C-alpha cells in the first residue's frame, strides 16, 4: 500500500529533526532551515521565469546547482552537530565566488546604491537577494541560540549567495541593455578596483 503523504506527527506543533529529537515547529533551528527551503522554492520560480529570457541559460544552470546546494544547507541545519558529517563545505563557497568572478567583468562599474528593478528578470533576482538576506538573519538567530549547532560554511554560503544574486540581477539588466536604477540620494559607497581601472 502506498504510504500517505500526511503523518499527523506535527498536529500538536512539534516536529522531529535528524536523530529523532522532537522540537517545537517555531524552534530557531526549524525557522532557519524553513527559510532556506523558502528561497529554494523562490529559486525554482525564478529559474522557470528565466526560460523566456534569451540571455540567461548560464544563470538558469547556476540556479539548478544552487538549489541542490540549498537542499544541502537545509539538511545541515536540520541535524544536531555530530549526527553526521556536514554536506556544505568551503568548496561550495568557493564555487559561488567563482561564479561571481566569472560574471563581474560583464558588468559596468558601480559606485552608488541601486534600486531593485530594471528588467523583470533582474527584479526577480533582486527578490531572491533580499529573501536570502532574511535567511541569513534567521541562521544568525539560530547560531546565537545554539552556537555549536550551525555549520559555519552554511552561513558563509548564504552570505555569498546574496552577493551572487546581486551580481546576476545587474547582469540581466546589462545583457538586456537596461541600466540599473540609481538611488538618487546615495553617497558613493562602492570603489572601482585597480583591475577595473586598468
3-state per-residue secondary structure call for 114-135: EECCCCHHHHHHHHHHHHHHHH
Residue whose C-alpha is closest to residue 47's, from 65, 70, 71, 35: 65
Residue 88 Cα to chain centre, angstroms: 13
Confidence (pLDDT) at 29: 79
Over the stretch 76-97, which tens digit does the pLDDT of each residue have? 998 888 788 999 999 999 999 9
Confidence (pLDDT) at 17: 53
**Considering just the CA atoms, what is the radius of gyration of the chain in Å?**
19
Over the stretch 39-61, which tens digit does the pLDDT of each residue have? 999 999 999 999 887 779 999 99
Query: Which class in CATH covers the domain with range 19-197?
Result: mainly alpha
Confidence (pLDDT) at 99: 98
Stretches in the chain below the pLDDT threshold 70: 1, 3-26, 191-198
Confidence (pLDDT) at 198: 39
CB 16 within 8 A of CB 22: yes
Amino acid at each position: 500500500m502506498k504510504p500517505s503523504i500526511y503523518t499527523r506527527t506535527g498536529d500538536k506543533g512539534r516536529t522531529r529533526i535528524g536523530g529523532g529529537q522532537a522540537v517545537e515547529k517555531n524552534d530557531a533551528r526549524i525557522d532557519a532551515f524553513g527559510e532556506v527551503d523558502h528561497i529554494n522554492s523562490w529559486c525554482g520560480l525564478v529559474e522557470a521565469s528565466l526560460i523566456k529570457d534569451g540571455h540567461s541559460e548560464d544563470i538558469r544552470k547556476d540556479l539548478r546547482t544552487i538549489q541542490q546546494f540549498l537542499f544541502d544547507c537545509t539538511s545541515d541545519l536540520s541535524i544536531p552537530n555530530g549526527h553526521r558529517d556536514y554536506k556544505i563545505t568551503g568548496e561550495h563557497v568557493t564555487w559561488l565566488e567563482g561564479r561571481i568572478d566569472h560574471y563581474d567583468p560583464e558588468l559596468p562599474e558601480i559606485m552608488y546604491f541601486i534600486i531593485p528593478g530594471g528588467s523583470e528578470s533582474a527584479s526577480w533576482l533582486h527578490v531572491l537577494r533580499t529573501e536570502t538576506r532574511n535567511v541569513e538573519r534567521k541562521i544568525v538567530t539560530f547560531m546565537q541560540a545554539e552556537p555549536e549547532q550551525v555549520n559555519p560554511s552554511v552561513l558563509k554560503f548564504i552570505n555569498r549567495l546574496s552577493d551572487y544574486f546581486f551580481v546576476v540581477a545587474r547582469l540581466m539588466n546589462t545583457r538586456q541593455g537596461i541600466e540599473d536604477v540609481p538611488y538618487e540620494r546615495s553617497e558613493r559607497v562602492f570603489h572601482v578596483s585597480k583591475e577595473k581601472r586598468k
